[in-house]
């Protein structure tokens, strides 16, 4: 009998404990629950930067081409590749008898360029006036169409806006038209400077002269038109953005460049990022050899030019290798949390858990600026000083549960503790 009594008692006690457990911990229980969270971080603001490392090649900031259409006009070349020249230095001696025909060609080219310059200036003034009248807005009221060729040889199609009498690119952007007009003006003025330098020579002792200071990079002595290519003494660094990098880099991004011949890494900016796939130039061939990454699209290499803050003219030869680190994203006084702590993430938004004032582990929405080094740098969502929680079990609760955490093991900073007044310690002890 005693045996059946103890068996029954055991069953009763077990049932009682099970019933109480269901009442306390079941989904329908109204008793609040405390959840242990072992991982958490206090959100401290800091400066974060996402950087893109690239191989780069030293290249001239500007390249000047001087052409001679009349082959017989050249009597003798006086420069070779690699020679340093000053503005006004003789590049070649001209035949006095044959130089007249070449001068006529230069004069004809000068007249054509001056006419084009005047037309571009008129278009530029009209575009600026129209942009000012529109208050910076864009217009697309075009009924006629014309074209202009930029310095790269690309034909740009324009629409003629009859309501204001100006030319606007097909995309309707006055700013785009103004930028293209200024670019073409700069090209025309450069070509006119070259021609003026040639026409200023004495008829009795004619010579082909350099309009700029620099280094002779190439002398074409064989094929017509004969030409001399001169690199400017100031250098830039050329690199290339791949298809998946192009969206990340913009002009004026900060860059740090290190190259042999420089005493230390130099700072600079991205001067330009091309929208057009790069030509198969010597710079592109060198880049592909230095950074041989395969990609599905074989032409998706976009030239980027990097300009140092201080001009680089010596110590770095053309074509030498450099290492560039481009800052593509930067945030000051920003909060960052480990990427796995962001859940329900879609693109640049998601949620994370924070300890609120009531001691609950509450989910809050966050907006992500960028990711770097395994952290999600937040644009908004978590305030400085908040405790961010990481615990997958929190997602099992329909409402935010109360949480308790291990006591922090970090010690206060020694310099901070040393500079804290003793009264603060007393006030803290009394508050306990």
Sequential DSSP letters for 137-164: -------EEEEEE-TTS-EEEEEEETTT
- Residues 6 or more apart whose CB falls under 8 angstroms from that of 55 comprise 239, 287, 290, 291, 321, 322, 323, 324
Q: CA dist 298 to 46, 246, 273, 295, 351, Å?
A: 40, 15, 18, 6, 39
Q: Rounded to the nearest 5 degrees, what angle is found at the Cα of 372, between the Cα atoms of 366 and 376?
A: 15
Residue 342 in tokens: 């962001």
Please tell me the predicted confidence (pLDDT) of residue 308. Answer: 94
- List pLDDT tens digits, range 182-199: 877 877 877 777 777 767
What is residue 50's three-state secondary structure? Answer: strand
Q: What pTM did the predictor assign?
A: 0.65
Q: Rounded to the nearest 5 degrees, what angle is found at the Cα of 265, between the Cα atoms of 261 and 266?
A: 95
The helix (H) or strand (E) run that includes residue 303 is strand 301-308
Question: What distance in Å separates the CA atoms of residue 323 and residue 53, rounded to the nearest whole number?
Answer: 7
What is residue 313's three-state secondary structure? Answer: coil
Chain length of the chain = 432
- Where in the chain are the domains? 34-49+332-430, 52-62+229-330
What is residue 368's three-state secondary structure? Answer: strand
Which residue from 184, 299, 193, 181 is spatially nearest to 246, judged by alpha carbons?
299
Please tell me the predicted confidence (pLDDT) of residue 17. Answer: 80
List of the chain residues with pLDDT < 50: 136-172
Please tell me the predicted confidence (pLDDT) of residue 388. Answer: 92
Strand partners, 353: 363, 389
Q: Quick one: DSSP state of residue 360?
A: B
Question: What distance in Å separates the CA atoms of residue 133 and residue 430, rounded to the nearest whole number?
Answer: 70
β-pairing, 34-36 with 402-404? parallel
Please tell me the predicted confidence (pLDDT) of residue 410. Answer: 61
For tokens 């508050």, name the residue. 431
Question: What distance in Å separates the CA atoms of residue 246 and residue 418, rounded to the nearest whole number?
Answer: 50
CA-based Rg of the chain, rounded to a whole angstrom? Answer: 35
For tokens 């796995």, name the residue. 340
β-pairing, 90-94 with 155-161? unpaired
- Residues 6 or more apart whose CB falls under 8 angstroms from that of 222 comprise none
Which residue from 64, 74, 65 is spatially nearest to 222, judged by alpha carbons?
74
Residue 123 in tokens: 């278009």
Query: Are the C-beta atoms of residues 287 and 325 closer than 8 Å to each other?
Result: no
Q: CA dist 358 to 46, 119, 224, 365, 399, Å?
A: 27, 72, 84, 18, 13
Please tell me the predicted confidence (pLDDT) of residue 152. Answer: 45
What is residue 383's three-state secondary structure? Answer: coil
96-133 and 174-199 are packed helices; what angle lies between their axes, rounded to 10 degrees? 160
Q: Quick one: DSSP state of residue 327?
A: E
Question: What distance in Å separates the CA atoms of residue 171 and residue 302, rounded to the nearest whole number?
Answer: 22
Q: Is 333 left (phi over 0), alpha (psi -120 to 50) or beta?
A: left
Query: Are the C-beta atoms of residues 247 and 263 closer than 8 Å to each other?
Result: no
Q: CA dist 134 to 61, 121, 125, 170, 296, Å?
A: 36, 20, 14, 17, 44
Please tell me the predicted confidence (pLDDT) of residue 100. Answer: 67
Query: Are the C-beta atoms of residues 157 and 147 closer than 8 Å to each other?
Result: yes
């Amino acid at each position: 009998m005693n045996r059946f009594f103890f068996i029954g008692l055991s069953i009763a006690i077990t049932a009682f404990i099970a019933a109480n457990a269901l009442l306390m911990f079941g989904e329908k229980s109204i008793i609040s629950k405390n959840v242990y969270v072992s991982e958490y971080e206090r959100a401290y603001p800091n400066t974060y930067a996402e950087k893109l490392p690239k191989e780069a090649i030293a290249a001239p900031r500007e390249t000047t081409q001087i052409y001679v259409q009349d082959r017989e006009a050249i009597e003798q070349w006086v420069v070779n590749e690699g020679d340093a020249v000053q503005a006004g230095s003789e590049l070649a001696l001209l035949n006095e008898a044959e130089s007249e025909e070449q001068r006529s060609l230069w004069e004809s080219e000068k007249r054509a360029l001056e006419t084009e310059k005047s037309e571009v200036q008129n278009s530029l003034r009209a575009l600026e006036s129209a942009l000012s009248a529109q208050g910076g807005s864009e217009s697309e009221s075009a009924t006629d169409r014309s074209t202009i060729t930029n310095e790269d040889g690309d034909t740009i199609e324009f629409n003629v806006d009859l309501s204001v009498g100006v030319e606007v690119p097909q995309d309707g952007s006055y700013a785009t038209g103004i930028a293209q007009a200024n670019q073409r003006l700069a090209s025309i003025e450069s070509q006119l400077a070259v021609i003026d330098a040639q026409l200023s020579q004495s008829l009795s002792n004619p010579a082909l002269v350099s309009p700029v200071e620099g280094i002779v990079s190439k002398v074409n002595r064989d094929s017509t038109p004969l030409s001399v290519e001169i690199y400017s003494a100031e250098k830039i660094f050329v690199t290339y953005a791949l298809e998946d990098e192009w969206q990340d880099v913009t002009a004026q991004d900060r860059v740090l460049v290190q190259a042999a011949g420089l005493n230390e890494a130099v700072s600079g900016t991205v001067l330009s990022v091309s929208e057009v796939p790069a030509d198969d130039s010597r710079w592109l061939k060198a880049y592909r050899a230095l950074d041989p990454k395969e990609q599905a699209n074989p032409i998706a290499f976009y030239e980027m030019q990097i300009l140092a803050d201080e001009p680089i003219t010596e110590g770095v030869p053309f074509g030498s290798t450099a290492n560039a680190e481009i800052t593509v994203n930067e945030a000051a006084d920003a909060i960052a949390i480990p990427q796995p702590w962001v859940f329900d993430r879609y693109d640049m938004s998601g949620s994370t858990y924070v300890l609120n004032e009531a001691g609950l582990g509450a989910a809050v929405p966050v907006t992500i600026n960028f990711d770097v080094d395994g952290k999600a740098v937040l644009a908004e969502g978590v305030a400085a000083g908040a405790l961010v929680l990481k615990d997958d079990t929190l997602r099992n609760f329909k409402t935010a549960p109360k949480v308790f955490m291990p006591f922090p093991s970090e010690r206060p900073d020694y310099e901070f503790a040393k500079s804290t007044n003793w009264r603060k310690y007393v006030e803290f002890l009394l508050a306990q």
